[in-house]
Amino acid sequence: MKVGVLALQGDFREHIRMLRRLGVTAVEVRQAEQLADLDGLIIPGGESTTIGKLATQFGLMEPLRRFGAERPIWGTCAGMIFLARDIGRDQPLLGLMDISVNRNAFGRQVDSFEAALEVSGLEDQPFKAIFIRAPLVTEVDEPAGVEILARLEDGGIVAVRQGHLLATAFHTELTGDDRLHHMFIEMIQKHQPTAAAS
């Protein structure tokens, strides 16, 4: 299995490290040609406006959309924003997931925080999630197949899956807990490219 991490900006190195620790071949992706032989892709946290601007400049928007129509992508934090269909403002988005997202949803007072999350599929123990200027999912299109995997105590949606697409509002690569990386690898293993093309 070969998994790419979009390496335009943000904390792609940490994701590469986590994947390699799990025995997966992981590569930094900066060019459309590199998508060809990947089984899945992670879009890391960082700054979604910068990631969008660079992806546009490097001609990656359409190749990434085609990739995500058929193969698994996981967006964390800025990556979640980049995957969303709508964020209520104008910046380049892949629009692959039927979710609305509010950027910087927690405001300045709570720039970053940690939460012990119950994540569906990871019931053995809570996931220690780190939120850094994090987004929140404000709407999910359930008829389109979006499932909610985790909420904050106040109900705020912070992890969702839609078929072969996964999005988390928090950083999953900074704590050493590799269960979400493991979940994504399992999604890739179970994925049947021909059946999921849309």
Q: What is the largest CA-CA distance in the chain?
A: 46
Cα(142)–Cα(138) distance, integer angstroms: 13
Shortest distance (Å) from residue 4 CB to ligand GLN: 18
- Check residue 75 for interaction with ligand GLN (CB under 6 A): no
Q: With beta carbons less than 8 A apart as the criterion, state whether 141 and 99 touch.
A: yes
End-to-end, the C-alpha distance of the chain in Å comes to: 23
Q: Is 162 helix (H, G, I), strand (E, B) or coil?
A: strand
- Check residue 150 for interaction with ligand GLN (CB under 6 A): no
Cα(95)–Cα(109) distance, integer angstroms: 29
Please identify which of the residues 15, 28, 118, 173 carries the catalytic annotation: 173
Site for ligand GLN in 105-144 (CB under 6 A): 132-133
Q: Which is nearer to ligand GLN, 104 or 189 (CB)?
A: 104
Site for ligand GLN in 29-58 (CB under 6 A): 45-48
Q: Which is nearer to ligand GLN, 23 or 107 (CB)?
A: 107
Helix ranges, the chain (H)? 12-21, 48-57, 61-70, 78-83, 179-190, 193-196
Active site residue 77: yes
Judged by CB under 6 A, which of 15, 71, 103, 181 binds ligand GLN?
103
Q: Which residues bind ligand GLN (CB under 6 A)?
A: 45-48, 77-78, 81, 103-104, 132-133
Q: Which residues are catalytic?
A: 77, 171, 173
